Structure 1
Amino acid sequence: MKHHINRTLKKIPLHLLFWLVVWFFFFVFFSVGSENKNFIFWFSTILSVITIAASYVVVYQLIPDFLLTKKYKSFVLYVFYALVFIACAVLMTVVFGFVFFYNLEFQKMPGLTKNSGVIIVCSLLIIALAGGFKILKHNYQSIEEKKALENRFLQTQLELKEQELRFLKMQIHPHFLFNTLNTLYGFALKKSDQAPEMILKLSSLLDYILYQVEKPFVFLKDEINHIEDYIMLEKSRFQDSVEIAIIKDNFDDALQIPPMLLLPFVENAFKHGSQIDGRLKVNISLQVDDKFICFNVENSAKQKVHSKKGIGLQNIKKRFDMLYGEDGFLKISEDENLFTIDLKIPIKNEA
């Protein structure tokens, strides 16, 4: 309420200045051909009052209540009433000058002040100017409000996506850690000499999951190094029953991707992959060109084995879609004995 009053008070000087200019225009315009400055003063003042009253009715009543709310019939009707009022008021003003200043001698009145048509047109021009300004101001405010609403909506959507992304990360990381701890547990039971090295690799992975993963981006080389550590852990678990082939291009060490983006796909291959003829086969390929990081994972699988336990993979896919949308590419396909994941990560070249 206080803010509204302050805004209204700030407008008063501008309104006074505008109507002073209008009065001066009337005074100069209708004084043409007349030396009776006293009459022209009162004539301009009365005409200004009529114009001010009609303008405020149109600007603050008819336009907001009828035109902007699309009540066009009511708007036209009340505009007609306003025109009748203006015409009557103008005629009364002419009669006022005719009676009190020129003693009923009509011919002595200045030509412009006894021409009702000219007087009405001058008044209507000022009213139209005020109404047009009101409509332009309303349109500008509507555009600004729409932009502000869109910005708030986008901000809310962004916050929701960030929350969902954090939730998906929370789902992926414990799942990955659980599988790795299971592998280490098996070696501890066997008192294997490989256990210390596995603990070292697991420690590195834990550091990556617990600390590095909260960063928006990590170096691609770090993600690949942790993939290789994970593969070493899985080799230790599967021993001779796994066959792994890794092909990777040389790439710029400065390339960055979101953390834990590629590793869950590799984990999925070991978790849901199936041994065929006594061996689990996993093929991993990483290629980098000017526009994309291309990552491919293939693993031997029995048909439909992935679709039965696809909740983790669905979450990984959902996270990828949230991060890249239509700019990225992710295809998951399943043949009779082969499960394949192909993804392309767009490279963002920063200027």
Structure 2
Amino acid sequence: MNKAVLKILKKLPFHFLFWTVVWFFFSSFFSVGSTNENFIFWFSTILSAIAIVASYVFGYYLIPVFLITKKYKRFILYSFYAGVFIVCAVLMTVVFGFVFFYHLEFQRMPALTKNSAVILVCVLLIIALTSAFKILKDTYKSLDEKKTLENKVLQTQLQLKEQELKFLKMQIHPHFLFNTLNTLYGFALKKSEKAPEMILKLSNLLDYILYQVDKPLVLLQDEINHIEDYVSLEKSRFQESLQITFYKNLIPENLEIAPMLLLPFVENAFKHGIQIDGVVHVKMNLKLDENNLNFTIENSAKNKESPKKGIGLENIKKRLEMLYSKKYFLEILQEENLFKVHLKIPIKNEE
């Protein structure tokens, strides 16, 4: 047995109970002034049948098929036909009682049962109540389904964004790791005293890149410390061919940002930095401006030649969009022998 049949069977007891109440309403209302129980039984039964047919026609056909879908002309036309049927059925019910139970003696009929207007109003009232209930039920069901669907869509979008964000945060260019390991290998061959310090910094940096990305926020000072470790490792590799400056104002200890937000720009500067007069120039500036964090980084580059952006800058743009929507500012400029990035993001300094 399919779900549709089970759903209908579950509704049957409620429908049966409702129409039983309607029958008792008709029976009690129209029995006033009458002692003919057999007539009242059949009279109430026929009126209930009329109300049942008309209610289901309106509730399950005319309203959902034409009214809800805004086919107003056809709804009005078919409603008119249904109204004619109801009026004719009510009049035929009165005639039925007049002929078969009171043998054409109209005066003997109870006052309410021979008043067609009152009978019609009672039947229409039942039809209106059932139709209104059906409209309210369908509206509530539609809103509930819409809300459920929206929640599923939002949940799916959130999961996709979380996965994409995690993927973007965990990306690191292999060239940095390979170059650093090669430098370490060279120091190890020379038995340099710098090797243990480089290994420690590389270990800390990889721990930050690979494991701290799951956190929504980290201390800005931690990000700065790992930038400095990164710079230190690059200094060991470039030796005298690197000139770097890093200016930063006083940073509150409790100030937090998303992890791995600034480091990719630093990595990009070293990856695409070009030696000019035998030296790669990198300049970084980090400062707070009211409720914004400003980060500027410049590196020497070939004149009028855009560096290969690869996936680095494109991914960081996607990540900024997911984190800050339209509330951030990112400017990337290619000037004469200079590549410059300026990032501004909103911050909250919790006291």
TM-score (norm 2): 0.86
Matches within 5 A, 1:89-238: 89-188=89-188, 192-238=192-238
Aligned with 1:172: secondary structure?
coil
Provide the C-alpha distance between the structure 2 equivalents of 1:45 and 1:36, rounded to a whole number of angstroms.
17
The number of residue pairs the alignment matches comes to 350
Assess if the C-alpha contact under 8 Å between 2:255 and 2:349 holds in 1.
Answer: no
Assess if the C-alpha contact under 8 Å between 2:180 and 2:233 holds in 1.
Answer: yes
Counterpart amino acid of 1:247?
Answer: Y
Assess if the C-alpha contact under 8 Å between 1:272 and 1:305 holds in 2.
Answer: no
> Identity across aligned pairs (percent)?
69
Provide the C-alpha distance between the structure 2 equivalents of 1:14 and 1:20, rounded to a whole number of angstroms.
10
Aligned with 1:216: secondary structure?
coil
Question: Shift of residue 247 of structure 1?
Answer: 2.0
Q: Deviations over 1:92-149 (max 9, x none)?
A: 2111221233231113323332222332232122112211221222222122212222
Assess if the C-alpha contact under 8 Å between 1:272 and 1:306 holds in 2.
Answer: no
Q: Deviations over 1:302-330 (max 9, x none)?
A: 23444334442222222222332223322
Provide the C-alpha distance between the structure 1 equivalents of 2:122 and 2:349, rounded to a whole number of angstroms.
62
- Residue number in structure 2 paired with 1:83: 83
Q: Deviations over 1:223-258 (max 9, x none)?
A: 111111111122223333333222223333333333
Assess if the C-alpha contact under 8 Å between 1:173 and 1:209 holds in 2.
Answer: no
Provide the C-alpha distance between the structure 1 equivalents of 2:110 and 2:261, rounded to a whole number of angstroms.
87
* Greater mean alpha carbon deviation, residues 261-270 or residues 41-50: 41-50
- Residue number in structure 2 paired with 1:321: 321
Assess if the C-alpha contact under 8 Å between 2:274 and 2:302 holds in 1.
Answer: yes
Assess if the C-alpha contact under 8 Å between 2:255 and 2:350 holds in 1.
Answer: no
Counterpart amino acid of 2:291?
Answer: K
* Greater mean alpha carbon deviation, residues 273-282 or residues 336-345: 273-282
Counterpart amino acid of 2:22?
Answer: V
Question: Shift of residue 37 of structure 1?
Answer: 5.3
Provide the C-alpha distance between the structure 2 equivalents of 1:166 and 1:293, rounded to a whole number of angstroms.
23
Question: Shift of residue 156 of structure 1?
Answer: 2.1
Q: Deviations over 1:62-117 (max 9, x none)?
A: 33344444555554444333223222221221112212332311133233322223
Question: Shift of residue 51 of structure 1?
Answer: 0.8
Change (3 A) 1:133 1:175: farther
Matches within 5 A, 1:193-342: 193-288=193-288, 291-342=291-342
Change (3 A) 1:190 1:315: farther
Aligned with 2:339: secondary structure?
strand
Change (3 A) 1:13 1:122: same
TM-score (norm 1): 0.86
Provide the C-alpha distance between the structure 1 equivalents of 2:161 and 2:345, rounded to a whole number of angstroms.
19
Question: Shift of residue 297 of structure 1?
Answer: 1.3
Provide the C-alpha distance between the structure 2 equivalents of 1:186 and 1:13, rounded to a whole number of angstroms.
85
Aligned with 2:164: secondary structure?
helix
Change (3 A) 1:257 1:176: farther
1:36 paired with 2:35, answer yes
Ranges in structure 2 where 5+ consecutive residues have no aligned partner: none
Aligned with 2:254: secondary structure?
coil
Assess if the C-alpha contact under 8 Å between 2:249 and 2:288 holds in 1.
Answer: yes
Provide the C-alpha distance between the structure 2 equivalents of 1:136 and 1:349, rounded to a whole number of angstroms.
49
Provide the C-alpha distance between the structure 1 equivalents of 2:344 and 2:178, rounded to a whole number of angstroms.
28
Question: Shift of residue 214 of structure 1?
Answer: 3.6
Assess if the C-alpha contact under 8 Å between 1:176 and 1:264 holds in 2.
Answer: no
Counterpart amino acid of 2:239?
Answer: Q
Counterpart amino acid of 1:233?
Answer: L
- Residue number in structure 2 paired with 1:22: 22
Aligned-pair RMSD on alpha carbons? 2.9
Provide the C-alpha distance between the structure 2 equivalents of 1:310 and 1:298, rounded to a whole number of angstroms.
18
Provide the C-alpha distance between the structure 1 equivalents of 2:252 and 2:12, rounded to a whole number of angstroms.
65
